[in-house]
Structure 1
Amino acid sequence: MSANQKILVVDDEQDISDLISYNLTKEGYQVYTAPNGKIAIEKAKEVNPDLIILDVMMPVMDGIEACRIMRAMPEFKNTFMVFLTARSEEYSEIAGFNVGADDYIAKPIKPRALMSRINAILRRNAQDNVEEVADKFEIADLVIDRDSFLVFRGNEKIVLAKKEFELLYLLASKPNKVFTREQILKAIWEDSVIVTNRTIDVHIRKLREKIGDNYVYTVKGVGYKFELNFNDN
């Protein structure tokens, strides 16, 4: 990746911070570190990172609070923020997304998987700066054709209903990004009809029945994402 891209790693465990920093530096990123959320905010103001990796549980100020504060600052409104934690409780994951997290990575760290995830997030950042996604693009083993409202997997043609296709197109256009139900409702149904969360869930279920369960993932209490599965080695 570009040497101009800057990443701030925030973790109070020195060995974890060193491991992540080493692997990011090998990839060509400019890496900065901070031991807690309070210092991270000051460091972020100083270096203006493209992405911030935040541990959830830290002394002085935890990652959740630091993310909440930075998301309220105009300069960090669009900065990618990824939580890193050993905690598996569902409520902490929901809390992270509720304050503006873009992704969630669990400890113990698996370097190749972490680098793949970070590279994908920053590629998505570049895609977000393009006016619109291509009408036809490949992702995972799918080809998504907006003109024909068709999906292809190898020689197999998958026919989707209009809203099912629009859901898939939305999620796949930004892989690994979590879309809240509110964002999905606004993007797919706009304000023209009254729909509920149940409507989204039903369409997701029908979409999975047609393309399989290995693409669209549920983030409990938040929404859905199109997930690219990375090598855990």
Structure 2
Amino acid sequence: MSKNRILIVEDDRSLADVLDYNLRQDGYETVVALNGQDGLNQAKLKTPDLVVLDLMLPVVDGLEICRRLRADPVTRQMLVLMLTAKAEETDQVAGFSVGADDYVTKPFSVKVLLERIRALLRRRQGESQHDEVIVSQGILIDRERHRCTAGDQPLDLTPSEFGLLETLLRQPGRVFSRSELIDSALGGDSLVLERTIDVHIRALRKKMGGYAELVETVRGIGYRLRDPASSE
């Protein structure tokens, strides 16, 4: 079984070395980039399974890197864990809004970081345990090909948006609280603010175009996919 490959994009050489050593000790293959442009280049060249990404980087900052990763067909499905000293709630929301899958603030515990990485990879690997194709009301999700369409038009979704839509699509009409969506779509090990679910939902609706109204807000609780029976 091949090792998961992790790209570390961190301009602090000593911290990059610590991350590199501990990830290798934990059984991962690693690649290190010390500035944002090299990080983008390595992401395309090495196609890692997961990127540990600092935000405050020379040449290209972490938010812009994440935007570019999500915009490129070669890199859009890579898991992205932001590791940064920017600890304000607004910073975390900004990180998730550009497609981050998890957000860890400095200073941090190496053991906790390793567990968060394992959790993200488990979530990705566990996706194959469900039905491969789900269809409801013109929306199709193909898990095996990681493809989603709305009215036969492809949707360019981040992994988190894909997980949210899949969760809603599996049980149309069921109301999911924000905490349930974090557990089901983003993984119970993710330490995600409940309000960041709203950021993901807004981005998802924007991409769904004319199908956006299928994702309904249930005030004071959370979200649901419109029940097909209600439109008959």
TM above 0.5: yes
Tell me the TM-score normalised to structure 2 length. 0.64
1:172 maps to which of 183, 188, 193: 183
Contact 1:82/1:104 (<8 A) preserved? yes
1:222 matched to which residue of 2? none
State how far apart, in whole Å, the 1-side matches of 2:174 and 2:96 are: 28
User: Could you report, residue by residue, the CA deviation over 1:33-89 in whole angstroms, capped at 9, with x for unpaired residues?
Assistant: 001110011111111100001100011111111111121100111110111101123
Paired position in structure 2 for 1:84: 83
Partner of 1:203: 221
1:1-233 alignment runs, 5 A limit: 3-132=2-131, 162-164=174-176, 170-174=181-185, 175=187, 176=190, 179=197, 180-182=200-202, 183=204, 191=213, 195-196=216-217, 199-200=218-219, 202-204=220-222
Question: Displaced runs of 4+ in structure 1, greater than 6 A?
Answer: none
Unaligned runs of 5+ in 2: 133-172, 223-232
- Is the Cα–Cα contact under 8 Å of residues 36 and 60 in structure 1 kept in the other structure? yes
User: For 1:76, what is the secondary structure of its paired residue?
Assistant: coil
Paired with 1:96 and 1:164, the residues of 2 have a C-alpha distance of 23
* Runs of 5+ unmatched residues, structure 1: 134-160, 205-233
Shift in Å, 1:128: 2.6
Q: Is the 8 A contact 1:7 1:31 kept in 2?
A: yes
State the SS of the aligned residue for 2:221.
Answer: helix
Per-residue CA deviations over 1:133-165 (Å, capped at 9, x if unaligned) read: 9xxxxxxxxxxxxxxxxxxxxxxxxxxx95247
- Secondary structure in structure 1 of the residue aligned to 2:175: helix
CA RMSD of aligned residues (A): 2.9
Per-residue CA distance 1:203-233 (angstroms, 9 max, x = gap): 15xxxxxxxxxxxxxxxxxxxxxxxxxxxxx
CA distance in 2, matches of 1:84, 1:48: 19
Q: Is residue 3–residue 28 contact of structure 1 (8 Å, CA) maintained in 2?
A: no
- Structure 2 vs 1, CA of residues 54 and 164 (structure 1 numbering), >3 Å: closer, same or farther? closer
Identical amino acids, percent of aligned pairs: 35
Separation of aligned partners in 2, 1:162 and 1:45: 39
Size of the aligned set, in residue pairs, is 169
**TM-score in terms of structure 1 length:** 0.63
Q: 1:93 to 1:169 in 2, by over 3 A?
A: closer
- Offset from partner CA, 1:181-218 (integer Å, 9 cap, x none): 3459x8xxx7458x44xx35x115xxxxxxxxxxxxxx
